[in-house]
Amino acid sequence: MRSSLSSFRLIRPNAISAIFATIALTFAPLVNGQIDIKTKQLTRIDDAMLRAVSSMNLPSISVAIVQDGTLLWSNSHGLLDTQTLAKATPDARYAVASNTKAFTSAALAQLVDAGKINWDDRVTDYLPSFKLYDPYVTSELRIRDLLCHRSGLATFSGDLLWYGSSWTSDEVLQKAQFLKPTSSFRTEFGYQNILFIAAGKIIEVVTGQTWKNCIQDSLLSRIGMTQSILSVSELGDGAPQALPHNETADGGQVPIQWVNWDNMAPAGALIASVEEMAKWMIVQLDSGRVSNQTIWNPQRTQEMWTMHTPIPVSSWYRSKLPSMHFRGYGLGWEMTTLHGRKIVGHSGGYDGMISRQMLVPEEKIGVFIVTNTNSSVPWALGYDILDVLLDQNTDFNLLTFLEENRASESEKQAKEADILASTRIKGTAPSHAIADFAGTYTDPMYGTIEVAESDGALQLQFIQTPLFRAELKHWHYDTFQLNWSEQMMLPSGMVHFSVDASGKVQSLDVDVPNPDFDFTELHFIRN
């Protein structure tokens, strides 16, 4: 789901992380490509992985590197499960989340090859009931627009509709009409998951198959990704797999439950090992060919790897990655430059699992990295590893940056808590008795939430999202602090109640500061 550095939390160090130094290391014969990758370079990468497990408190990390159509090297450190102490291996499955988007784009590319669709076909030609907030955008939105994030919607807009919810994919799409754009059509980048659901629906309409069956038959089976799955419902088949983890307040790593993403599968449902993602990278670097078969035309690869939507290069990126001259998004792929080479890649963010894929087409090199906790390490190591492989830098500068930030994170959190506390107006009371705030509230897009009172305390429940359950504690006036009941990545936030002209509690708004879910898109009116 999450594709940018901003969506990752930097969390505190843990002194016991060094115990997770288990190594599962495999070498394939080194193949001479455009660049002659040496064993010493791979050793540096291996050392950096061990270092990251310890310094960044990772349960595990896995890496696969391909070159010239061959799995050059794969490597795992740490634990798949901190409770059972199962050791990480390169064939163990992880959720790769938004790396799924390239599979959806590839399936559409196959349909372009077959003459069944064109990239610039109108979405409503295939999904007549599809509707966005702006009627003009609804009528002019093309398949290409779905895949390159230029609809005018903000990054992650509407993700509250599908995440952990009981809404079906059809219901999520139906509710997309309530999402207000934040920029003009085709002018700015806004990373979208919901519109990839629409892309998956087009595949279903055209092929007569479910998205899942189409991806399985047309891509996974043909590529040889036989152990990869497309739903958490398929877990437990005996194949090795990592468990997602969250870091606790005392610095431990505890397994958390898988969250079902079936209702947004085309945007992020794939669960695969680094070794099977290596097969995918090899096909990509060979422009859609595998075993002397053409899965999609090489022209389609160039179309998917062509920048359609520019992404601003921030001053931070320019300072940390001075050889990065542009950023942009193609069709299911990010792209940039590094050391004079074009880089094609993507990130994936799942609850308790983060991944990063990076391809260097000129050198026929690909790198896939994944960890089973919420950490920016795969993003940082992706660039650092390419520095090493391209023989540009062996200092692992971005990993060092994360380590330095992690060391100061506790201090930053304490300062933020102090700042928040200073905004509280002491000595105030709610305008009504606590029980008067209880009731059912509805947002036209999301649906219903319930505020219940018990023994003088308030509980909030998002009805369609069981994970979203929270305790409300009075903060000041008619504002209550929201503390989530479940073990979630989201921080605490605030709930603001409003009264009408007659003095009755009329509505509420939820504000949870985080980069992933925009609760301010919702406004709940009391029923």
Reply yes or no on whether the pLDDT at 409 is more than 90. Answer: no
pLDDT in tens, 258-306: 999 999 999 999 999 999 999 999 999 999 999 889 999 999 999 999 9
Q: Judge whether 462 lies within some domain.
A: yes
Residues 107 and 38 both lie in one domain: yes
- Residue 319 and residue 397 in one domain: yes
Check pLDDT > 80 for residue 410. no
Q: What is the pLDDT of residues 89-142, one digit of tens each?
A: 999 999 999 999 999 999 999 999 999 999 999 999 999 999 999 999 999 999
Let me know: does 98 contact 1? Beta carbons within 8 Å. yes
Please give the residue that has the higher pLDDT: either 250 or 53: 53
Q: Are 486 and 383 in the same domain?
A: no
**Cβ contact 176:444 at 8 Å:** no
Local confidence band at 34 (pLDDT 50, 70, 90 cut-offs):
low
For residue 356, tell me if it sits in a domain. Answer: yes
Q: Is the pLDDT of residue 17 over 90?
A: no
- Write out the residue range of the structural domain in which residue 26 sits: 5-113+195-411
Same domain, 450 and 367: no
Selection from 98, 340, 353, 388 nearest residue 246 by Cα: 353
CA distance 309 to 222: 31
Q: pLDDT over 70 for what percent of the chain?
A: 93
What CATH number should be reported for the domain holding residue 274?
3.40.710.10
Same domain, 224 and 78: yes
State how far the Cα of 213 lies from the Cα of 88, in Å rounded to an integer: 29
In this predicted structure, what is the pLDDT of residue 394? 86
Of 55 and 248, the one with more pLDDT: 55
The rounded distance, in Å, linking the Cα atoms of 336 and 90 is: 27
Alpha-carbon dihedral 206, 209, 215, 217, rounded to 10 degrees: -120
155 lies in some domain: no
Residues 88, 36 share a domain: yes
Q: Does one domain contain both 457 and 394?
A: no
Query: Which pLDDT score, from 0 to 100, does residue 16 have?
Result: 33
- For residue 103, what are its two tokens? 């599979």
When comparing pLDDT for 464 and 11, which is higher?
A: 464
Give the number of domains in the chain: 2
Confirm if 31 and 67 have CB atoms less than 8 A apart. Answer: yes
Last residue of a domain, one of 360, 377, 411: 411
According to the model, what pLDDT value does residue 295 have?
97
Residues 281, 200 within the same domain: yes
DSSP assignments along 457-521, one per residue? EEEEEETT-TT-EEEEEEEETTEEEEEESS--S---EEEEEEE-TTS-EEEEEEE---SS--GGG
Is this model's pTM higher than 0.85 or not?
yes
Whether the predicted pLDDT of 15 surpasses 80: no
Here the CATH number for the domain that contains residue 448 is: 2.40.128.600
- Residue 438 belongs to some domain of the structure: yes
Helix (H, G, I), strand (E, B) or coil at 343: strand
In a domain, 166, yes or no: no
